[in-house]
Amino acid sequence: MINPEITRILVGVGKGIVYGAISAGIGYFKTQNSEGDLENFDTKKFTQTVIIGMFVGGIAGSGTSMDDASNIIGTEFGIAPEIIKTFIMTSITLIADEIVKVIWRRFLSQAWTNLKYKLGR
């Protein structure tokens, strides 16, 4: 039988992933350029934004804040929490960027090309 505490954490992470993706998507769609107009839609940027939102939401949904996690890990290994937090946030961004590249190269670019072809562009 699964420990109820683990189930609670996993459910929180799952909710955080969904909420983070939704928040990031909404945030992307309301972004304005320097003239005050809405940005042109960029599929790669949108996907990257949503993936980063999913990571951050999943971490937040676990019930441990980034500061708490950094303090726990830093104390355990004798490293300043600021260094751990910087490493975590940088890693999230780099991983999200790589995931977007894989998704784009393996699936979305081909699907986008096929869609444009079918629409006659």
Task: Report pLDDT digits (tens) over 6-22.
Answer: 788 788 889 988 998 99
Write out residues in the chain with pLDDT < 50, as ranges.
Answer: none
Per-residue confidence (pLDDT) for residue 18, from 0 to 100: 93
Q: Is this structure's pTM higher than 0.85? A: no
CB 66 within 8 A of CB 85: yes
pLDDT at residue 121 in the model: 56
Dump pLDDT digits (tens) for 67-79. 887 888 888 889 9
Domain count, the chain: 1
Could you tell me the residue range of the domain that residue 101 belongs to? 4-119
100, 47 in Cβ contact below 8 A? yes
Q: What is the pLDDT of residue 86?
A: 92
